[in-house]
Amino acid sequence: MQDSYVTADGRTIGATVMEMKNITLRFGGVTAIKDISFDIREGEVRAIIGPNGAGKSSMLNVINGFYHPQEGEVWFHGKRRHEMKPHQIAKQGIARTFQNIALFKGMSTLDNIMTGRLTHMKSGLFSQMAWWGGAQAEEVANREIVEKVIDFLEIQAIRKTPVGRLPYGFQKRVELGRALAAEPKLLLLDEPMAGMNVEEKEDMSRFILDVNDEFGTTIALIEHDMGVVMDIADRVVVMDYGKKIGDGTPDEVRNNQDVIDAYLGVAHD
């Protein structure tokens, strides 16, 4: 395995956090992911790109346990991960956002982000019912962390608003906040910039880079838009029709003939 190194902008990229080995995922007769391997290293921004239907979201769903691959192994922190339920994987420190925002629409911004703290809260049911001792102290302590997340994402003004009423860009931000509140070891972002205008995209890119920079959070993100990815990712996996067609730094990927073909639709003989 490669040693850790320091990037041009001064961040340290460490050892491998997660490794996908020969993952194959089928739905009935359709193969969504075919024999794909790649790794994610500590502290890096790792992007998965590819055209529509390439299997990017399926890959994210494999990482967070919504899907279970038929073949292949998932290694997390140097250990092989056996088949687990999504909520158990969340407890291991993998948080995510969704392509079509999945927030708790009836709840306020604050409550939504508080749910991100659930994996860190240990008080028992009876302590909570009595609102006594442990439960109360725990609420207060976790609330402080949530307030920091709210400050960081600059959403103080909407903390009490039910998220269903917020504009799209803000909803995306609250969803990121909920994932951040979990203080994840690995943060998965499914098209964080989908459907955004240029200004919102810039804001979101800045937040992603800041999260990575300030907290050293390892990030794996899916993006449709090549341009944005090339700016913020350290390394990029390119998928097409469920197969991996490229893997490397943005520059390497940009000059890869297979990748160019996939995006431009050039046919080989």
Partner 1 sequence: MSANFYFGIEVFLNGMMAGVLYSLVALGFVLIFKASGIFNYAQGVMALFAALTLVGFQNGQIPFSHLINAIFGTNIHHFGWHMPAILAIIFTLMVMILFAYLVEKYILKHLVNQEPIILFMATIGLAYFMEGFGDLMWGADIKKLDVGIPQGGNIWLEEHTAFLGGDDFYGFYLDNLDMLATIFAGLLVVSLVLFSQYTKTGRALRAVADDHQAALSVGISLRAIWVIVWSIAGFVALVAGIMWGSKSGVQFSLSLIALKALPVLMLGGFTSIPGAIVGGLIIGVGEKMFEFLIGVPFLGGATENWFAYMLALLFLVFRPQGLFGEKIIERV
Site residues (vs partner 1, CB under 8 A): 64, 66, 85-88, 90-91, 95-96, 98, 102-107, 111, 114-119, 121, 123, 125, 128-129, 131, 135, 138-139, 178, 182
Tell me if 18 sits within 8 A of 39, measured CB to CB: yes
d(CA 146, CA 181): 6
Q: How far apart are CB 107 and partner 1 at their closest, in Å?
A: 6
Q: How far apart are CB 117 and partner 1 at their closest, in Å?
A: 8
Residue 81 burial by Cβ neighbours in a 10 Å radius (0-12, 13-18, 19+) = middle
Q: How far apart are CB 155 and partner 1 at their closest, in Å?
A: 18
If the CB atoms of residues 84 and 230 are measured against partner 1, the closer one turns out to be 84
Residues 6+ apart with CB under 8 A from 249: 234, 235, 236
Q: How far apart are CB 92 and partner 1 at their closest, in Å?
A: 9
If the CB atoms of residues 31 and 115 are measured against partner 1, the closer one turns out to be 115
If the CB atoms of residues 130 and 260 are measured against partner 1, the closer one turns out to be 130
If the CB atoms of residues 13 and 176 are measured against partner 1, the closer one turns out to be 176
3-state DSSP call for residue 215?
helix
If the CB atoms of residues 45 and 90 are measured against partner 1, the closer one turns out to be 90
**Tokens matching residue 114:** 């508080």
If the CB atoms of residues 24 and 92 are measured against partner 1, the closer one turns out to be 92
Q: How far apart are CB 2 and partner 1 at their closest, in Å?
A: 31
Tell me if 23 sits within 8 A of 72, measured CB to CB: yes
Q: How far apart are CB 111 and partner 1 at their closest, in Å?
A: 6
Strands (E) in 77-117, as ranges, are 79-81, 94-96
Beta strands 235-240 and 94-96: pairing type?
unpaired
**Tokens matching residue 52:** 């529509």
d(CA 190, CA 170): 16
